[in-house]
Amino acid sequence: MIRVLIFGGSSSVGTAIFKELNPFYDLHATYYKQTKFNRNKRYKYYDLETDPTSILTQLNPNIIISGLKGDFNLQVKYYDKIIKYCERVGSKLMFISSSSVFDSFINYPSFEEDKTFSQSIYGRFNIHIENKLFRMKNSNWTINRSAMIYSLKSKRLNQIKKSIVKSNPIEIFPNLIININSENLLAKHLHYIISRNLCGIFHHGSKDLINHEELIKNIVEKLNLKKINYKYVYTTNNNRYLSLLSNKNLFPKHLNFTFDSILKKIQ
C-alpha cells in the first residue's frame, strides 16, 4: 500500500488532506503546536529545527506532501534534506505553494508555465523552494500552487470575524481580481494527482474570478455580520490580477469549481 507522509498535517489544509486520503492510503502526518494530535498514532511531533531524516527513515514514505509553515531559513534547510531523501530513494515530493509567486505580475491571470516573479517575502520564498524542485535529479515532484483559501474554517475567515469583534476595519483591495480555493477542494485535487501518478506544476483555484471587494462583502453578508468598517487599500488605479488558471495540467470536470460553490458553504 502506498505510504503518504504529510508534513504540516495538523493545519487546516493538512487535516483536510489527511481526511481525504486516509481511506485510500497508508497515511501519516506531523504536528507541532497542536498537542491534541499526540494521542493519534498516525501523527508524529516534528519541529523545524530537527532533521526530518529520522522520521523519513522510520516511515519510508512513497509520497511526501509538504505544507509546513515557519521560519524561512529553517524551511530551506528542511527542504534540502527532504529533496536529498527523495532523490536517494525515489519518493515523490508534493510542495504546496501559492499564488504569491506571481504577485508582481498584475495585468493578467497566471498559468502553470508563466514566469514567477514576486515582491513579497512569502512569494520569493515559495519561488526559492520551487526552483529547488526544478533542479531535482528526477522529475518525481509536483508544485501545487493554491489560490487564496476562503473556506468556512480558513484563517482568512477567522481574521474577518476577529476584526469585527475587535471593531477593527476589514481591508478591501477594490482593484484586485482573484480566484479562491478551499482546503477540501485542494485535498481532492491532490488525491487525483496521486491516483494518476502525475507530476509537474498544478494550479488549484476556482475556474472563475471575482473582485476582492465583491468577495469580502459577499462573505460579510453570508456571515450576517453587522457594524462593519472597511479600509480601502489602493495599490493601483487599474485592475490588478492575483489569480491562478490552468491551460496545461487540467483537472476533470467533476473537480472544477466556481467561487460561488465555496461561498455557498459559508453560513
**Does residue 162 belong to any structural domain of this protein?**
no
Residue with the three cell numbers 531523501: 85
pLDDT in tens, 4-57: 999 999 999 999 999 999 999 999 999 998 888 888 999 999 999 999 999 999
Residue 2 has pLDDT above 80, yes or no: yes
Residue 74 within a domain: yes
Q: Is residue 153 in a domain?
A: no
Tell me the residue type at 248: K
Residue with cell 487525483: 192
pLDDT at 190 (0 to 100): 98
242 phi, psi to nearest 5 deg: -140, 75
Residue 41 lies in a domain: yes
C-alpha cell at 261: 460553490
Cell, residue 60 = 519510508
Task: Count the neighbouring beta carbons within 10 Å of the beta carbon of residue 56.
Answer: 21
Identify the band that residue 179 occupies on the pLDDT scale cut at 50, 70 and 90: very high
**What pLDDT does 264 receive?**
93
- Within-domain flag for 233: no
- Domain membership of residue 167 (yes or no) is no
Q: Is the pTM of this model over 0.85?
A: yes
Give the pLDDT score at 186: 98
Q: Which residue has the higher pLDDT, 267 or 72?
A: 72
Residue 266 grid cell:
459559508
User: Percentage of residues in the chain with pLDDT exceeding 90?
Assistant: 84
Q: Rounded to whole angstroms, how far apart are CA atoms 200 and 164? A: 41
Q: Which of 223, 74, 235 is nearest to 156 (CA)?
A: 223
At residue 37, the pLDDT reads 87
Helix residue spans in the chain (DSSP H): 12-21, 53-59, 72-89, 121-134, 155-165, 183-195, 212-222, 259-263
* Residue 175: predicted pLDDT: 92
Q: How far apart are CA 98 and CA 105, in angstroms?
A: 14
pLDDT at 267: 73
Query: Total structural domains in the chain?
Result: 1
pLDDT tens-digit readout, 65-124: 999 999 999 999 999 999 999 999 999 999 999 999 999 988 899 999 999 999 999 999
pLDDT band at 147 (very low <50, low <70, confident <90, very high): very high
pLDDT of 205 above 90:
yes
**Residue 163 and residue 248: Cα distance in Å, rounded?**
39
pLDDT at 92: 98
- Provide the pLDDT for residue 35: 81
Q: What is the CATH number of the domain that holds 30?
A: 3.40.50.720
Which DSSP state fits 110?
B
Grid cell at residue 199 = 507530476
Phi, psi of 185 (to 5 degrees): -70, -35
Residue 31: what pLDDT? 94
How would you label 136-162 residue by residue, b for 16+ Cβ within 10 Å and e otherwise? Answer: eeeebbbbbbbbbbbbbebeebeebee
Among all chains, which residue has been given the C-alpha cell 495585468? Answer: 107
Please give the pLDDT value at position 116: 97
Residue-range definition of the domain harbouring residue 104: 3-148+181-204
pLDDT band at 195 (very low <50, low <70, confident <90, very high): very high
What was the pLDDT predicted at 39? 87
- 11 in a structural domain: yes
Domain membership of residue 174 (yes or no) is no
Query: 240 in helix, strand or coil?
Result: strand
User: What average pLDDT does the chain have?
Assistant: 94
Distances in Å between the Cα of 79 and the Cα atoms of 72, 87, 119, 208, 266 are: 10, 12, 22, 33, 35
Close Cβ partners of 208 (under 8 Å, ≥ 6 residues apart): 179, 258, 259
